Amino acid sequence: MGEMDKRYEQIEHLSDVGLRAYGKSLEELFENAGEGMFSIMCDLAKVSPLSRREIDIVERENVSVEQLLISWLENLLYLFEVEKMLFSSFKVHSVKVQSDKSNKDGREGDEKSKEARVKAEIFGEKIDFTKHEIIVAIKAPTYHTLEVKRDSLSGSWVANVIFDI
């Protein structure tokens, strides 16, 4: 994989685990962050996309793209812990945040509504200990040194997240 095609990578953090995710769009960024998070927990090559879940996160507060990314990852972890699901395939249909200057989104938001929203479909399967080895269970994504940035030249996104384990 060339540097340009890189979708995510683990980054150094002394006591926890860090992830850097890339994406040409916010949707792709969220997909890659989700996949990257599960890749820390297990070998995704062994997780078949047998079962589908729909995700629709609506945040009524005026949340930033960083906060929305955390909500997205928290939702995925909730399904991991409560439904004992591992996910390997992510299709994010839309990521909507307010188009204010602070998050440099650069796209048209819904001016009337303060709502931020992520709509997605994710695919995976129930944990099966005969084939899945859980390397470590992530407990939560954190805001520690959290960053979601858009490159002004290429327009592509990059996010850094540290996870508590």
Partner 1 sequence: MYELSFNIPKGVGSTGKIKLSNSEMRKVFTEGVNWAIKNGYGWEEDKYFVDDQGCMDGANPDYVSKQAIDRGNDQVGTLGSGNHFLEIQKVDEIYDEKVARVLGLEKDQITVMIHSGSRGLGHQICSDFIKVMQQSSSKYGIVLRDKQLACAPLNSPEGKKYYAAMACAVNYAMTNRHCLTHWVRLSLERVFKKSSRDLGLELIYDVSHNIAKMEVHNVDGVKKQVCVHRKGATRAFGPGHESITSKYRDIGQPVIIPGDMGRYSYILVGTEMAMTESFGSTCHGAGRLLSRAKAKKKIKGSELKEELFRKKGIIVIAGSLSGLAEEAPDAYKDVSKVVDVTHNAGISRKVARLVPLGVLKG
Q: Which residues bind partner 1 (CB under 8 A)?
A: 10-17, 61, 66-67, 70, 74, 78, 80-82, 84, 86, 127, 129, 132-137, 139-140, 142-146, 164-165
Q: Which is nearer to partner 1, 99 or 127 (CB)?
A: 127
CA 155 to chain centre: 19
Backbone angles phi, psi at 49, to 5 degrees: -80, 60
151 Cβ partners below 8 Å, 6+ apart?
157, 158
Beta strands in the chain, from DSSP E residues, in sequence order: 8-11, 17-23, 51-59, 85-96, 116-126, 140-150, 157-164
Q: Closest approach of Cβ 22 to partner 1, in Å?
A: 18
What is the nearest approach in angstroms of partner 1 to the Cβ of residue 116? Answer: 13
- Written as six digits, the tokens of 21 are 């995710």
The residues, any chain, with a CB within 8 Å of residue 113's CB and separated by 6 or more, are none
Task: Indicate the residue among 8 and 28 with the shorter CB distance to partner 1.
Answer: 8
CB of 48 to partner 1, least distance (A): 16
Nearest to partner 1 of 28, 34 (CB atom): 34
* Nearer to partner 1 (CB atom), residue 44 or residue 127: 127
Q: How far apart are CA 125 and CA 27, in angstroms?
A: 22
For the CB of residue 36, give the shortest distance to partner 1 in the complex, in Å: 13
Residue 154 CB, nearest distance to partner 1 (Å)? 25
Residue 27 tokens read as 């949707």
Q: Which is nearer to partner 1, 105 or 125 (CB)?
A: 125
